[in-house]
Amino acid sequence: MADYPQGLVRTRELSDGRAVTIRPIRPEDAEIEQDFVRHLSEESRYSRFMSQLHELSASKLKYFTDIDYDRHLALIAVAVEGDREIEIGVARYVGLPKHDRCEFAIAVDDAWQGSGVARILMTALMDAARERGFRNMQGTVLATNHRMLGFVRRLGFSVHSDAEDPGTVTAERQL
Per domain, the residue ranges of the chain are 6-135
| Average pLDDT score over residue span 93-101 | 94
- In this prediction, residue 44 carries a pLDDT of 84
- Alpha-carbon span 88 to 146, nearest angstrom: 21
- Alpha-carbon span 51 to 40, nearest angstrom: 13
- Residue 148: CA count within 13 A, CB half-sphere: 24
Say what the pTM is.
Answer: 0.94
The predicted-structure confidence for 11-52, as pLDDT tens digits, reads as follows: 999 988 999 999 999 999 999 999 999 988 888 887 887 777
Q: Model confidence at 2, in pLDDT bands (50, 70, 90)?
A: low
Q: Where are the beta strands (DSSP E) in 25-83?
A: 72-81
| Average pLDDT score over residue span 80-103 | 94
Average pLDDT of the chain? 93
- Alpha-carbon span 164 to 168, nearest angstrom: 9
Burial class (CB in 10 A: 0-12, 13-18, 19+), 23: buried
| Average pLDDT score over residue span 152-172 | 93
Query: Are 135 and 174 spatial neighbours (Cβ–Cβ below 8 Å)?
Result: yes
Nearest 5°: the CA angle 36, 39, 45 is: 85
Is residue 92 predicted with pLDDT exceeding 70?
Answer: yes
Is residue 77 predicted with pLDDT exceeding 90?
Answer: yes
| Average pLDDT score over residue span 64-84 | 95
- In this prediction, residue 49 carries a pLDDT of 75
- In this prediction, residue 165 carries a pLDDT of 87
Is residue 157 predicted with pLDDT exceeding 90?
Answer: yes
CA distances 143 to 22, 45, 50, 159, Å, are: 28, 15, 11, 10
- Alpha-carbon span 41 to 45, nearest angstrom: 6
The predicted-structure confidence for 137-150, as pLDDT tens digits, reads as follows: 999 999 999 999 99
* CB-CB neighbours of 12 under 10 Å: 16
Does the 6-135 domain belong in CATH 3.40.630.30? yes
